[in-house]
Chain A
C-alpha cells in the first residue's frame, strides 16, 4: 500500500524523483510503460486490490516476518543492540517475492499471459517463476551466463517451477545484460507480455510500484519495533544493489528524522579499485535502463563492468529514489567489501545460526561496524533481505573448501 506523504515523497506524476527517474525507453515500449503506469495508478487506489495483496502475503509468503534481537552478535560488538528483520524467512527465501506477488496480480488484471523477468542472483527469477506457477502463467527468465554458473541451485529451482531460463551471453554476461535482453523481448512481445522488473529501477512506474510493494517490510518493522521497545530504532541498515529491499525498509521511516539510514553498496575489492558495484559511493549520474540515476560509467559514458562477490548486487545502476535520497542527504550510502561481507556471512552463521545471503551479508558487515561506535542502549535494525542457502556452493568455492565432503 502506498505510504503516507512525507517531505521525501516521490515521484511526481511523470515518474521523476527530483532530477532522477523518468521514462527513458525506446518508442516501441512507451505505450507499454504508459499503460502499465495507468493500470497501476488505477489499481493502487483500489482497496480490494490491497486486501488481496495482503492476504497473499499472509497466507502464501508467511508474513509478517518477525524482527529478531541478535544478542550474541550484539554482544560481540559491545555496542548498539542489533535487530534483524527476517525477510530470509519468506517463502522463496528473500524479500523479492513481496514484489512479484504484487506485479503478478497486476499482470493478471491487465490480461497478460506471458511473464518475463531478469535476474542476477536468481532470487527474483525464482520469485517470478513461483508466482507464475501459482497463477498458471508462462514465465521466461533472462540471466547472465556468468550468473548462471554462480547461482546454479537457483537456476534449477526456476526450471522445476516450469520457467524457461535464457542464458544471456552479450556484454558482461551479468544482471545488466539480462535486463537489456528482457527489454528487447518486451519490445518484440508487447501485446501479451508483462515484464516483472525485480528492483526499484527501470522506467516509471517501476521504481514507485516496486517500492510500494516492498514497503510492507518497513511498515511491519516500524510497528513491530515500536511494540517491542516503545521507541523507533536509531539506525536502519540495508544492502543496496538496485535497492528494493533497502527502499522497502526505509520508506515508511523517511519522515522519522531521528532514525538514521545506511544503504550499503558492494565495495567489491575496494572503492579505490575499479572492481566494485557502488554507483552511489563512486559513480555519477547518467541514464540506463529507462531511468536517470547514479551509474558506474566511464568518462565516455560507457557502462563499466562491475564486480561483487554477490551476484544480486553486481549491477552498475541503482534505483532513482536512492539517487534522490543521497542528494537530499536523508540516507547515507556506504560500502562493504567482498572480504567484509564474507566475514559477516560467517559471523552471523556462527553466532546466531542464521546463514545470510551474500547480499544481506554486506548490510550485516556495515551494521556491526556501526554498532561498535554506538551506545549499548541504542538500536540498529538490519534488513536481512535473504537467506544464504543459494550461496553455500559459491562460498565453498571461494574458500577452497571441498563442497560435499565432511
Chain B
C-alpha cells in the first residue's frame, strides 16, 4: 500500500478529514520551503502538495503565479524540488509528498529520469495539470513502476464518461476542482460540488479531495463534509509571501504564516 493510501486509510478509520496544504517549492527559497513543510506537519497537515515552479502557469491564479515568480527568481528548478523532497523525507518518513506542476519541465528532464529520481527521493504522487490521461504517454507506467501514485483532476466541466475514464488512470486520491476557473478564484457554488462528488462516489472508492478557492474555515468545513479532505493553496501561498527576508526571520514567523493550517486542523477535528 502506498504512503498516500496508508495515510488516507488512517484518516478514514478515525473519521478525520484529510488536510493537504500546497506550497510552491522554492518560494522564497528551498531552505524556507523545508522549514515550512515540517511546520505544516506539526500543525496538522496530513500530506503536502509541492508545486513545481513553471514559467507559464496557465491554470493558476495571481497568488500562485507570484509564488512561482519568486521561486524562479531564486533559481528554483525541478531537480531542486525533487532534492527538497529528499531532504524532507530524511526527517519525516510518514507524510506523503505529491509533486504538482506542468509538463514541460518534466518532459525536458525526461520521463524515465524524472520517475527514477522521484522514486529515490521519496515522492509519493505526481499530478501534471496540463497532461490529460490520453496525452500521458509512458509516464504513468514509469511512475507506477516506482510505486508513485498518479493523481488526476476532475472538474465541474468533466462529463460522466470522462470522469470514469480519469478514475481508471488515477491512484492515491482524486483531486476535485471545486470551481470553473484558476486556483484561488471565488468558490460560491457549493451545490455543484455536492452533486458532482455524489456522482463520483458511484464510480470510485478513492478518496476525493476538494481544492481551488478554499480560503477560510467556513468553506473548508463545507468542502470537507462533501469530500474526504481539502487542499489549501493560494491562501497559504499569500501568507508565505508576507514572510520577512531570511536575514531578519525567526521561527515564529514560519509558524505564524502556517497558522491557517493549524486552525483548519482544529476546525476539521472538532466536527
Contact = CB atoms under 8 A, between A and B. Distances in A.
Interface of A: 14, 22-32, 170-171, 176-177, 179-180, 183-184, 187-191, 284-290, 295, 297, 299-303
Interface in B134-191: 134-135, 152-159, 162, 166, 177, 180-182, 185
B104 A184 contact: no
Given A180-B56, A184-B182, A301 B155 contact: no
A300 B181 contact: no
Interface in B15-57: 54-57
Nearest to A179: B58
A286 B79 contact: no
Contact of B108 (A177, A187, A191, A300): A300
Given A31-B157, A287-B107, A26 B152 contact: no
A32 B59 CA distance: 15
Given A26-B129, A27-B154, A287-B107, A184 B58 contact: yes
Given A23-B135, A188-B182, A300-B77, A289 B177 contact: no
Main secondary structure of the interface of B (DSSP, over half): loop
A187 B54 contact: no
Interface string B233-253: 000000000000000000000
A187 B132 contact: no
A27 B107 CA distance: 19
26 contacts: A23-B134, A24-B130, A26-B59, A27-B157, A27-B166, A28-B155, A28-B181, A31-B158, A32-B157, A170-B65, A171-B55, A176-B56, A179-B58, A180-B57, A180-B58, A184-B60, A184-B181, A287-B107, A299-B108, A300-B78, A300-B105, A301-B54, A301-B108, A302-B55, A302-B104, A303-B55
Contact of B103 (A171, A176, A287, A303): A287
A223 B152 CA distance: 50
A106 B47 CA distance: 45
Given A188-B181, A287-B103, A300-B78, A25 B130 contact: yes
Residue among B56, B62, B109, B135 with the most chain A CB within 10 A?
B56
A189 B185 CA distance: 12
A73 B56 CA distance: 42
Interface residues of B, number: 44
B59 A24 contact: no
B111 to A, nearest CB: 12
B72 interface: yes
Q: Which 5 A-B pairs have the closest CB atoms?
A: A301-B105, A301-B108, A188-B181, A27-B153, A26-B59
A201 to B, nearest CB: 13
